[in-house]
């Protein structure tokens, strides 16, 4: 049997090229989808981890400021702590070159005179210390920007424009292969001086003496430095970054697995079609003594071989998809989660193994049912035709019942137990995509049976869909799953966008916003001076101002944002920026009360807090409990926000700096002119002015960048589904060749047959789309009300983007029509002479 | 384009730097005391080197040999134009060691910091601090060398290795220049040289910490002061130095500079009489021959160990022998910085004691000298 398999397989591949190509195609697209998403997720973490490794080296403990920065005297305290072997200070600044390329640098101010080893090539340390603006950049960045040692570059960072001299090259990738090419090194004193960070550090990396217990050391350091510092291991930093990305990558992985699921249908269809074509061969093999198991193994071996080819095609395809969309992914990741962007995509063994398992597993799973089906037949039935329809039709009610049972069980499980389990939303979502294919044959059968055939045309196209249920129901199911994903994600993204727009409209309600020029915590340019605030407040065209201060605090051990605002009473606009879900503003902004706070919805959900509850807030200065006065909608920060008055904020933080200022104008309609005037007037100050509308535009731009990746996945899923329709029509052409010949013999013209086949395609697409739209709507509800709430903690108002959905229907219809042209043309060209006795 | 490992390997490598920007030693250098006890930041390198012997006040049979050294290694001769507390124009390195001569235990401690206000630095006259540094990572306290009108005070602490000292050192003999006007040639042409003076006899008292024990001590010391901008010539790889205090009240300082083949490239000796008057001897007037060797187990370096010293004009023919061979200093801060700095005895040819002192052996086995 094995020898027969080896000898016959090449012949089969040669004769059934289109079917096999489609199997390969299904596996390849599924693998490509999985691998591209896995690559994106793992490489985002790797990029962060690579930079952590490059900066922290083999440090045992890293100390960061609770407010994002540390005083440099903290370094002296760290040095004195028992158990410390080495301590390395880092002052960090993100800067961009001022040229057209806007090349981004992460400048590390380090102690170049310490007994550390950095892989620097270039001038000596005398130049490093004695040359103003001396900096070492990575060879990769130098090559990309055409820089050589001795060049002068201008960068903007920390709210300042600074001239730097390329003094050397520092190859971090020699020790940390995935370190960012944007890393650059300069002496700490020079970095502090040039970027306005005198007295500040952002990180201290500590190596411990042999024999020291890491937990003991960490706790000693924490106790020495107090709440203004946070002691953390480098591994923990990476795992925190991974946690940040968890929701993002889980969503995308789930979407990519759906692509595999859809690809599985394609494999099923093509395998089944192949088996139908070769049923005589299998009948003969059974007559010659081949066992059922041998038959199954032979089919699975063939599919595995095709699966391997599919994986071989899918892996580079997925790599290419990930590598070519790095910009889109980076926009999402760097906007929301991490500051380190993916620069190069690396394929690691676990990712490859996952993709191979998904591809081969999907291929085998897709072929298993047809293989078992063919093995169960008796020899006689294998040597005859037209038996499949009856069986599928018989199975349809049972499959429908199974689908119904899964639905009931899943809903029951969720209602009783599952709702407390965070990933339960994904279970619900998968239930949707599993149930749909199960109910499809029954729904299709029952629906098309009602169609009355009045002519040799469209109605016959629809009616005969039920006649070939074993083939058509699978195609409809595949398409409906694809459309489910498309519609579900479209509804979710659109709903989120509309909700966000409404939220931005209400929360961004000052007319002009002033931001400190630098976002690096602790720098002089990262705060707005009191003199400036006074100048603005006293202007005749200003009605009121709203000072914004931000910092990080800990609530039940989790890092959340603390925010202080004045919330001036400008016709209610000041406090209206917080759209309350429940509670009130009472005691929050009116000074002298008991420092009540507002909390964001994500914080309330993640910590199960509500109004009148007590929340323990630990800042870098002191910890204190507050009463929750209200819970408000918030979509800007998924980790949670506590809003309080400035007095309450000062209880938690030693810093008094204001990072933002909202300006309410007496004449809001003049906002553009006044903003332009302010920019001109305060051009020399390290602040930026942005009008209300510009802020809103930027927020939505970030949103659109974030969700751009989902479009790619939706497209891939749809491509697989449409390929499935083409395949189905081709199968029908081959399988029903005698039927077509009979039509021709009875007087059917090629045009009529062409239209019937085209009609089948359109019918398949319509059924798939209708079922998919229903499934997609359910999926959207799951994504919005279960997944988003569990992972991000916010409520999205559900909106139905009908125009978009109808547009997508048009695209699907057009695509399937085009996909149906070739099979229809082949069908139309079947000659009456191909009618044979057996098939009649 | 050369690769450099940022920091000491190159900070300490004098030959890697052009010398023209630093002030050069000169035979007509204008001395000004006590200011010259403090730092000379326009010279590239500088050190304050104290060695000697201490006796426990509670157990007079227990004696210790000690070393306390501050090195300043200039990075730039220019003043630092920054308000950052990390601003530095030099690196400060400190080495300290105590050898318990009863059991031969040698304990070495070191610090190495940029000369930035946060971590270390040098003072300027008339403030009392000459040099200071934060204690080594993992230890509280400081290293500090101070001077008042009558004495030098040296303190250091390293809780990691269990070493500390707080010593007050008063000159017993006047300051002695090691060469005419303190100009100490390091090669025959005088192109490599340093400004060099010595307090050959100090009376010392204070406290030391060895392990968990604090001892009140008193004893003697020898202080070398040297500053230069490149005291080794290009072909020289290290030196052997001896500071010997004889029982008859005379003191002897000898150094030999070796080239890469290990042979003597240049040497100098000074004999200081009981009143503190120096006699400078040329190489032909004395000889110093190794009589044995010792290989370190920790570094594998073989050092000469035991010498015969002959100075005809001083009527000296003596053996100089280590009091303990285990007096090697091995730096963990600076790779390859290993040297032997230890107590030696001086005996006549029959073995009768004639004095004691310290020897310093650098540049052996590929190791780099401290500066």
Confidence band of B1 (pLDDT split at 50, 70, 90): very low
Q: Residue A145 is inside which H or E element, if any?
A: helix A139-145
pLDDT in tens, B64-123: 999 999 999 998 888 888 899 999 999 999 999 999 999 999 999 999 999 999 999 999
pLDDT in tens, A53-73: 777 777 889 998 877 789 999
Nearest to A80 among B4, B10, B139 (CB): B139
pLDDT in tens, B202-214: 999 999 999 989 9
pLDDT at position A200 over 80: yes
Angle between helices A750-782 and A802-828 (to 10 degrees): 150
To the nearest whole percent, how much of chain A has pLDDT over 70? 83
Q: Read off the pLDDT of each residue in A121-144 and give the average, rounded to a whole number.
A: 80
The count of other CB atoms within 10 Å of the CB of residue A807 is 12
How far apart are the CA of A32 and the nearest CA of chain B, in angstroms? 43
The count of other CB atoms within 10 Å of the CB of residue A246 is 14
What SS3 state is found at A175? coil
pLDDT in tens, A509-537: 889 988 877 666 666 667 788 888 999 99
- The first and second tokens of residue A836, run together, are 């044979």
Question: What is the structure's pLDDT at B227?
Answer: 96
Of A290-294, A588-592, B301-305, B326-330, least confident by mean pLDDT is: A588-592
- Cβ atoms A461, A763 nearer than 8 A: yes
Rounded Cα distance, A712 and A718, in Å: 10
The count of other CB atoms within 10 Å of the CB of residue B181 is 14
Considering only CB atoms, which chain A residues are within 8 Å of B141?
A: 80
In sequence order, the 6+-apart residues with CB closer than 8 A to the CB of A437 are A265, A474, A477, A478, A480, A481
User: By C-alpha distance, which of B254, B272, B274 is closest to B264?
Assistant: B254
Rounded Cα distance, A523 and A486, in Å: 46
- Cβ atoms A111, A89 nearer than 8 A: yes
Assembly ipTM: 0.90
Q: Read off the pLDDT of each residue in A796-809 and give the average, rounded to a whole number.
A: 85
In sequence order, the 6+-apart residues with CB closer than 8 A to the CB of A747 are none
pLDDT in tens, A161-199: 899 999 889 888 877 777 888 889 999 999 999 998 899
User: By C-alpha distance, which of B333, B14, B2, B7 is closest to A188?
Assistant: B7
Rounded Cα distance, B18 and A837, in Å: 102
pLDDT at position B229 over 50: yes
What is the 8-class DSSP label of residue A833? G
Question: What is the structure's pLDDT at B8?
Answer: 38
Handedness of CA A578, A582, A584, A589 (dihedral sign): negative
User: By C-alpha distance, which of A621, A624, A646 is closest to A548?
Assistant: A646
pLDDT at position A821 over 90: no
Q: What is the dihedral of CA B109, B114, B118, B119, to 10 degrees?
A: 10
Which residue does chain A place closest to B333, by CA atoms? A115
In sequence order, the 6+-apart residues with CB closer than 8 A to the CB of A65 are A201, A202, A228, A229, A230, A521, A522, A620
With an 8 Å Cβ cutoff, are B75 and A117 in contact?
A: no
Nearest to B334 among A80, A115, A199 (CB): A115
pLDDT at position A823 over 90: no
Mutate to test the interface with A, among B18, B19, B22, B84 (most CBs of A within 10 A): B84
Bond from prior residue into B126 cis (ω within 30 degrees of 0): yes
In sequence order, the 6+-apart residues with CB closer than 8 A to the CB of B51 are B65, B66, B67, B68, B221, B222, B243, B341, B358
CA atoms within 13 A on the CB side of A501: 10
Distance of alpha carbon A238 from the chain centroid: 18
- The first and second tokens of residue B36, run together, are 């010259």
- Cβ atoms B339, B370 nearer than 8 A: yes
Rounded Cα distance, B179 and A614, in Å: 79
Rounded Cα distance, A235 and A213, in Å: 16
How far apart are the CA of A76 and the nearest CA of chain B, in angstroms? 7
Nearest to A76 among B10, B87, B118 (CB): B118
To the nearest whole percent, how much of chain A has pLDDT over 90? 19
Question: What is the structure's pLDDT at A334?
Answer: 55
Q: Read off the pLDDT of each residue in B21-34 and give the average, rounded to a whole number.
A: 94
With an 8 Å Cβ cutoff, are A198 and B83 in contact?
A: yes
Rounded Cα distance, A258 and A262, in Å: 6
Cα-based distances in Å from A106 to A95, A184, B115: 6, 6, 26
Nearest to A85 among B112, B118, B138 (CB): B138
Mean pLDDT of chain A: 81
Cα-based distances in Å from B245 to A299, A312, A426, B342, B347: 98, 82, 85, 14, 12
Give the residue ranges of DSSP H helices in A736-749. Answer: 737-745
**Extended strands (E) in A517-604:** 542-555, 558-565, 580-583, 597-600
- Cβ atoms B194, B182 nearer than 8 A: no
pLDDT in tens, A5-23: 676 767 766 666 767 777 7
Decide: pTM greater than 0.80: no
Which residue does chain B place closest to A89, by CA atoms? B86
Please report, in angstroms and rounded to a whole number, the separation of the first and last CA atoms in chain B.
Answer: 24
Mutate to test the interface with A, among B137, B162, B230 (most CBs of A within 10 A): B137
Q: Read off the pLDDT of each residue in A805-829 and give the average, rounded to a whole number.
A: 80
Which residue does chain B place closest to A212, by CA atoms? B138
Considering only CB atoms, which chain B residues are within 8 Å of A134?
A: none
Residues in chain B whose Cβ is within 8 Å of chain A: 1-8, 10-11, 16-17, 75-76, 78, 80, 82-89, 91, 112-114, 116, 118-119, 134-135, 137-141, 159-160, 333-334
Mean pLDDT of chain B: 91
How far apart are the CA of B332 and the nearest CA of chain A, in angstroms? 9
With an 8 Å Cβ cutoff, are A125 and B138 in contact?
A: no
With an 8 Å Cβ cutoff, are A124 and B78 in contact?
A: no
Cβ of residue A122 closer than 8 Å to a chain B Cβ: yes
With an 8 Å Cβ cutoff, are A80 and B116 in contact?
A: no
- Cβ atoms B345, B45 nearer than 8 A: no
Cβ of residue A86 closer than 8 Å to a chain B Cβ: yes
Question: What is the structure's pLDDT at A251?
Answer: 65
- What secondary structure does DSSP assign to A408-446, as a single string? HHHHHHHHHTGGGSTTHHHHHHHHHHHHHHHHHHHHHHH
Task: Tell me the three-class secondary structure of A298-313, residue by residue.
Answer: HHHHHHHHHHHHHHHH
- Cβ atoms A272, A468 nearer than 8 A: no
- Bridge pairing between strands A641-644 and A558-565: parallel
What is the 8-class DSSP label of residue A697? H
- Cβ atoms A40, A322 nearer than 8 A: yes
Burial of A696 (0-12, 13-18, 19+ CB in 10 A): middle
pLDDT at position B17 over 50: no
Q: What is the dihedral of CA A181, A183, A185, A189, to 10 degrees?
A: 160
Nearest to A129 among B2, B76, B138 (CB): B76
Rounded Cα distance, A567 and B175, in Å: 74
Of A141-145, A818-822, B35-39, least confident by mean pLDDT is: A818-822
Mutate to test the interface with B, among A82, A88, A113 (most CBs of B within 10 A): A113
Mutate to test the interface with A, among B74, B138, B161 (most CBs of A within 10 A): B138
- What secondary structure does DSSP assign to B16-41, as a single string? GS-STTS----TT----TTGGGS--T
Rounded Cα distance, A249 and A251, in Å: 5
């Amino acid at each position: 049997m094995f020898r027969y398999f080896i000898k016959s397989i090449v012949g089969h591949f040669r004769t059934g090229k289109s079917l096999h190509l489609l199997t390969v195609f299904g596996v390849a697209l599924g693998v490509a989808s999985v691998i591209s998403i896995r690559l994106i997720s793992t490489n985002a973490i790797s990029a962060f981890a690579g930079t952590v490794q490059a900066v922290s080296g083999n440090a045992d403990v890293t100390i960061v400021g609770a407010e994002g920065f540390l005083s440099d005297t903290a370094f002296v305290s760290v040095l004195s702590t028992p158990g410390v072997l080495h301590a390395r200070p880092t002052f960090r600044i993100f800067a961009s070159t001022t040229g057209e390329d806007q090349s981004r640098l992460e400048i590390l101010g380090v102690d170049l005179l310490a007994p550390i080893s950095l892989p620097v090539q270039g001038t000596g340390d005398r130049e490093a210390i004695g040359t103003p603006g001396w900096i070492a950049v990575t060879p990769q960045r130098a090559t990309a920007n055409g820089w050589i040692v001795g060049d002068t570059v201008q960068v903007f960072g920390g709210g300042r424009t600074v001239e730097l001299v390329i003094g050397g090259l520092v190859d971090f990738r020699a020790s940390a292969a995935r370190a960012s090419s944007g890393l650059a090194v300069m002496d700490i004193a020079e970095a502090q001086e040039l970027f306005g960070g005198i007295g500040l550090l952002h990180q201290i990396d500590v190596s411990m003496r042999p024999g020291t217990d890491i937990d003991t050391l960490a706790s000693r350091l924490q106790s020495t430095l107090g709440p203004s510092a946070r002691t953390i291991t480098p591994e923990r930093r990476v795992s925190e970054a991974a946690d940040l990305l968890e929701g993002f990558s889980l969503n995308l992985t789930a979407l990519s697995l759906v692509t595999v699921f859809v690809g599985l249908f394609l494999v099923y269809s093509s395998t089944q079609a192949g088996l139908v074509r070769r049923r005589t061969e299998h009948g003969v093999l059974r007559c010659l003594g081949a066992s059922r198991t041998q038959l199954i193994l032979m089919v699975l071996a063939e599919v595995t071989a095709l699966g391997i080819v599919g994986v071989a095609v899918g892996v580079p395809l997925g790599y290419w998809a990930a590598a070519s969309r790095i910009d889109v992914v980076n926009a999402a990741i760097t906007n929301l989660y991490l500051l380190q962007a993916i620069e190069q995509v690396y394929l690691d063994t676990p990712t490859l193994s996952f993709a191979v398992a998904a591809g081969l597993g999907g291929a085998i799973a897709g072929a298993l049912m047809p293989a078992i089906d063919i093995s169960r037949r008796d020899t006689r039935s294998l040597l005859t035709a037209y038996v499949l329809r009856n069986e599928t039709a018989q199975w349809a009610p049972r499959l429908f019942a199974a689908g119904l049972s899964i639905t009931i069980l899943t809903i029951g499980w969720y209602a009783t137990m599952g709702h407390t389990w965070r990933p339960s939303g994904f279970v619900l979502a998968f239930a949707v995509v599993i149930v749909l294919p199960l109910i499809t044959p029954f729904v299709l059968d029952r629906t098309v049976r009602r169609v009355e055939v009045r002519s040799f045309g469209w109605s016959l196209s629809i009616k005969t869909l039920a006649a070939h249920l074993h083939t058509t129901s699978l195609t409809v199911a595949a398409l409906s799953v694809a459309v489910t994903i498309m519609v579900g994600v479209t509804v979710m993204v659109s709903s989120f966008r509309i909700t966000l727009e409404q939220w931005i409209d209400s929360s961004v309600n000052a007319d002009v916003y002033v931001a400190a020029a630098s976002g690096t915590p602790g720098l002089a340019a990262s705060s707005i001076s009191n003199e400036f605030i006074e100048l603005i407040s006293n202007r005749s065209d200003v009605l009121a101002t709203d000072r914004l201060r931000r910092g990080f605090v800990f609530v039940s051990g989790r890092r959340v944002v603390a925010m202080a605002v004045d919330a001036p009473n400008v016709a209610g606009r000041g406090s209206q920026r917080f759209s309350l879900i429940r509670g009130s503003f009472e005691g929050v902004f009116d000074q002298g009360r008991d420092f009540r706070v507002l909390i964001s919805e994500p914080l309330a959900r993640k910590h199960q807090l509500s109004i009148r509850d007590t929340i323990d807030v630990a800042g870098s200065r002191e910890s204190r409990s507050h009463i929750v006065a209200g819970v408000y909608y918030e979509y800007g920060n998924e980790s949670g926000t506590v809003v309080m008055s400035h007095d309450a904020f000062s209880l938690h933080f030693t810093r008094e700096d204001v990072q933002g200022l909202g300006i309410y104008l007496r004449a809001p309609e003049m906002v553009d002119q006044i903003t332009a005037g302010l920019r001109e007037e305060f051009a020399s100050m390290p602040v930026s002015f942005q009008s209300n509308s510009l802020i809103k535009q930027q927020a939505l731009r970030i949103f659109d960048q974030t969700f751009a990746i989902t479009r790619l996945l939706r497209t891939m899923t749809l491509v697989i589904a449409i390929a499935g329709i083409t395949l189905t029509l081709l199968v029908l052409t081959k399988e029903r060749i005698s039927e077509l010949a009979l039509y021709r013999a009875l007087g059917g013209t090629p045009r009529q047959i062409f239209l019937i086949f085209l009609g089948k395609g359109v019918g398949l697409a319509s059924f798939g789309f209708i079922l998919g739209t229903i499934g997609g709507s359910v999926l959207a509800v799951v994504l919005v009300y279960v997944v988003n709430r569990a992972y991000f903690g916010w409520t999205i108002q559900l909106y139905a983007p009908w125009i978009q959905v109808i547009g997508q229907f048009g695209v699907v219809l057009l695509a399937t029509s085009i996909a149906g042209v070739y099979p229809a043309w082949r069908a139309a060209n079947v000659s009456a002479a191909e009618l044979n006795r057996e098939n009649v | 384009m050369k690769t450099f490992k940022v920091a000491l390997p190159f900070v300490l490598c004098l030959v890697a730097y052009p010398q023209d920007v630093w002030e050069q030693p000169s035979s007509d250098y204008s001395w000004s005391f006590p200011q010259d006890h403090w730092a000379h930041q326009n010279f590239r390198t500088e050190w304050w080197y104290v060695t000697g012997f201490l006796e426990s006040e509670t157990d007079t049979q227990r004696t210790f040999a000690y070393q306390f050294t501050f090195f300043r290694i200039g990075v730039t001769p220019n003043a630092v134009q920054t308000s950052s507390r990390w601003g530095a124009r030099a690196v400060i390195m400190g080495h300290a060691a105590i050898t318990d001569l009863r059991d031969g235990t040698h304990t070495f401690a070191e610090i190495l910091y940029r000369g930035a206000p946060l971590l270390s630095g040098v003072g300027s006259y008339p403030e009392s601090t000459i040099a200071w540094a934060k204690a080594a990572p993992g230890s509280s306290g400081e290293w500090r060398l101070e001077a008042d009108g009558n004495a030098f005070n040296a303190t250091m602490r390293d809780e990691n290795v269990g070493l500390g000292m707080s010593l007050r050192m008063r000159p017993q003999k006047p300051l002695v220049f090691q060469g005419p006007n303190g100009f100490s040639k390091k090669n025959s042409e005088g192109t490599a040289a340093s400004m060099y003076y010595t307090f050959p006899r100090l009376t010392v008292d204070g406290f030391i910490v060895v392990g968990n024990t604090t001892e009140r001590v008193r004893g003697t010391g020898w202080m070398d002061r040297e500053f230069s901008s490149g005291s080794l010539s290009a072909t020289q790889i290290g030196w052997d130095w001896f500071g010997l205090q004889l029982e008859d009240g005379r003191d002897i300082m000898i150094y030999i500079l070796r080239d890469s083949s290990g042979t003597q490239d240049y040497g100098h000796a000074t004999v200081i009489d009981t009143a503190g008057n120096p006699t400078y001897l040329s190489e032909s007037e004395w000889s110093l021959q190794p009589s044995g060797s010792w290989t370190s187990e920790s570094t594998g370096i073989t050092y000469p160990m035991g010498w015969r010293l002959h100075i005809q004009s001083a009527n000296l023919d003596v053996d100089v022998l280590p009091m303990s061979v285990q007096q090697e200093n091995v730096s963990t801060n600076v790779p390859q910085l290993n040297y032997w700095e230890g107590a030696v005895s001086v005996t006549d040819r029959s073995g009768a004691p004639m004095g004691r002192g310290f020897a310093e052996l650098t540049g052996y086995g590929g190791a780099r000298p401290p500066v």
